[in-house]
Chain A
Amino acid sequence: MIKVEDLHKSYGKLEVLKGITTTIHSGEVVAIIGPSGSGKSTFLRCMNLLEEPTGGRVWVGDQDVTDKKNNIMKIRQNVGMVFQHFHLFPHKTVLQNLTYAPMKVKGLAKAEAEKIAFELLEKVGLSEKANEYPTRLSGGQKQRVAIARALAMQPEVMLFDEPTSALDPEMVKEVLEVMKYLAHTGMTMAIVTHEMGFAREVADRVLFLDGGVLVEDTAPDEFFTNPKSKRAQEFLEKML
């Protein structure tokens, strides 16, 4: 569960998040939607403190991530993150990408970390790529490895920041399939996306951000068929 209370974030004079309050419940899949520059990435990155909020509070489970007394490193182990540009470790093989953090951060034995890694690679359909280096993979394969790498830490929450935006169109589906599968396993997920069809089908809830304000926080069907705000209406007209 992630709870966000009056979250503010400014870069100097530029206020990017203007007081966001919402809760992502356990097992819930939330799609975060909004125009470019509306603060979606910043919002997501405040949840694992890749960006430090300038105001408000964020809880992951019962831990306040904005409280300096809490060990953010420990909290991050519970929050997987998938980036637009994958950020796989290029000097490590696919398998090593998956086993590195479990071994070096959680202290798992190699055999155990590899067992988990192979299970995950099978789930994302990349078992035969275990010993390849990332440069040898297609974009879709890289992103599936990146998802598996995050899952290898066995997190309670997964954050996705436009996971398919950097992919060639024909590779979008394979990544969305993996995410769909993950949603069905009951994973708690926050997904920044421009894939409206996917959001509507998979998300339990849609958060619509515009200009750093949470304009709508509602069920997908409601959002896509009957958006209340003018800004959401205009946005959807452009997207659909």
Chain B
Amino acid sequence: MNLDFTQFIPSMPYILKGIIVTLKIVILAGILGFIFGIILSLFKISKFKVLGWIADVYTSIFRGTPLVLQLMLIYFGSPQIFGFQIEAYTAAVLSFALNSGAYISEIIRAGILAVDKGQQEAAMALGVPYRKMMWDIILPQALKNILPALMNEFITLTKESAIVTTIGVLDIMRRSYQVGAEYYSYFEPLLIAGLIYYLMVITLTFLGKAVERRMRRSD
């Protein structure tokens, strides 16, 4: 196997710039998906059954179809959905946020249900209104328990973000591919991309563990 990485050194800055692109998509989609996931999970545990039903159908659809399909539907369908063509970057953030919102809502729902029922009763007995109770008492405890699962979802998002290549976003994946095309040699740049993704995932895992340790202070 003859590998020649040296010829790609001049292209490295170009590939590395893709990290910023990927991170921007993943972080923004992660935050939006998280907020959206909280809202959906509150729907799911709501006493208004219609809300729960809507959230369940939503989750079912977004978990039951390929992410790459959702991405393309939003990107290529945007003229029909929004009346104008949205940017590839926007489509990427949007579809990832909507998709991870579905997964995160299931994680959070399970986390909320795992919080001791006595916590809600104690808050109610103190006269704490539902929203404050959820926000200050239940969600913080739920989030602490589900942090590993959330981190997993975020890592999946980071890896899966490579599919934005299909709608032309210049992320790590697409840049390495382009460099490969330029040199008629795909193997090395793709290996480089692989290494970059792997390092990102390792870093995320490490960060997740650190946050987890911090949150376990009260144990």
Q: Which of B62-70, B76-84, B118-126, B152-160 is found at the contact surface with chain A?
A: B118-126
CB distance from B139 to the nearest CB of A (A): 10
- How many A-B residue pairs lie within 8 Å, measured between CB atoms? 65
Q: Which of A70-78, A109-117, A232-240 is found at the contact surface with chain B?
A: A70-78
Contact with A along B93-131 (1 / 0, CB 8 A): 000000000000000000000001011011111111100
Are A50 and B218 in contact, with the CB atoms below 8 A?
Answer: no
Q: Is B219 an interface residue (CB 8 A)?
A: yes
Are A85 and B129 in contact, with the CB atoms below 8 A?
Answer: no
Are B126 and A87 in contact, with the CB atoms below 8 A?
Answer: no
Are A105 and B128 in contact, with the CB atoms below 8 A?
Answer: yes
Q: Is A80 an interface residue (CB 8 A)?
A: yes
CB distance from B148 to the nearest CB of A (A): 17
Mark out the residues of chain A between 80 and 120 whose CB falls within 8 Å of any chain B CB in the assembled complex: 80-81, 83, 85, 87-92, 100-101, 104-105
Given contacts A83-B118, A135-B218, contact A91 B125 (CB under 8 A): no
Q: Is B137 an interface residue (CB 8 A)?
A: yes
Q: Is A133 an interface residue (CB 8 A)?
A: yes
Mark out the residues of chain A between 129 and 176 whose CB falls within 8 Å of any chain B CB in the assembled complex: 133-135, 149-150, 153
Are B218 and A101 in contact, with the CB atoms below 8 A?
Answer: no
- Interfacial chain A residues near B118, Cβ < 8 Å: 83, 85, 87
Are A91 and B141 in contact, with the CB atoms below 8 A?
Answer: yes
- Interfacial chain A residues near B218, Cβ < 8 Å: 90-92, 133-135
**Size of chain B's interface in residues, with CB distance under 8 A?**
21
CA distance A87 to B126 in the complex (A): 12
Are A91 and B140 in contact, with the CB atoms below 8 A?
Answer: yes
Q: Which residue of A lies closest to B129 (CB)?
A: A73
Q: Is B132 an interface residue (CB 8 A)?
A: yes
Q: Of A50, A73, A74, A135, which contacts B121 at CB under 8 A?
A: A50
CA distance A88 to B119 in the complex (A): 7
Most B CB contacts (10 A, CB to CB) among A85, A90, A134 go to A90
Are B125 and A135 in contact, with the CB atoms below 8 A?
Answer: no
CB distance from B199 to the nearest CB of A (A): 33
Q: Of B119, B124, B127, B144, which contacts A89 at CB under 8 A?
A: B119
Q: Is B47 an interface residue (CB 8 A)?
A: no
CA distance A153 to B124 in the complex (A): 13
CA distance A80 to B118 in the complex (A): 15
Are B141 and A76 in contact, with the CB atoms below 8 A?
Answer: no
Q: Which residue of B lies closest to A79 (CB)?
A: B125
Q: Is A48 an interface residue (CB 8 A)?
A: yes
CB distance from B82 to the nearest CB of A (A): 40
CA distance A149 to B124 in the complex (A): 13
Q: Is B87 an interface residue (CB 8 A)?
A: no
CA distance A149 to B132 in the complex (A): 17
Q: Is B217 an interface residue (CB 8 A)?
A: yes
CB distance from B175 to the nearest CB of A (A): 43
- Interfacial chain B residues near A76, Cβ < 8 Å: 124-127
Are B128 and A48 in contact, with the CB atoms below 8 A?
Answer: no
Are B119 and A87 in contact, with the CB atoms below 8 A?
Answer: yes
Are A153 and B136 in contact, with the CB atoms below 8 A?
Answer: no
- Interfacial chain B residues near A101, Cβ < 8 Å: 123, 126-128
Q: Which residue of B lies closest to A48 (CB)?
A: B125
Given contacts A89-B137, A91-B218, A133-B217, contact A153 B126 (CB under 8 A): yes
Given contacts A91-B140, A104-B132, A135-B218, contact A83 B122 (CB under 8 A): yes
Sample (22) of A-B pairs whose CB atoms are under 8 Å apart:
A73-B127, A75-B127, A76-B124, A76-B125, A76-B126, A77-B126, A77-B127, A81-B122, A81-B125, A83-B122, A87-B116, A87-B118, A88-B122, A89-B122, A89-B137, A91-B140, A101-B123, A101-B126, A104-B136, A133-B218, A134-B218, A135-B218
Instruction: Give chain A's interface residues, CB within 8 Å of chain B.
Output: 48, 50, 73-77, 79-81, 83, 85, 87-92, 100-101, 104-105, 133-135, 149-150, 153
Pairs A-B, 9 closest by C-beta atoms:
A87-B122, A77-B127, A87-B118, A81-B125, A76-B127, A101-B126, A133-B218, A73-B127, A105-B127
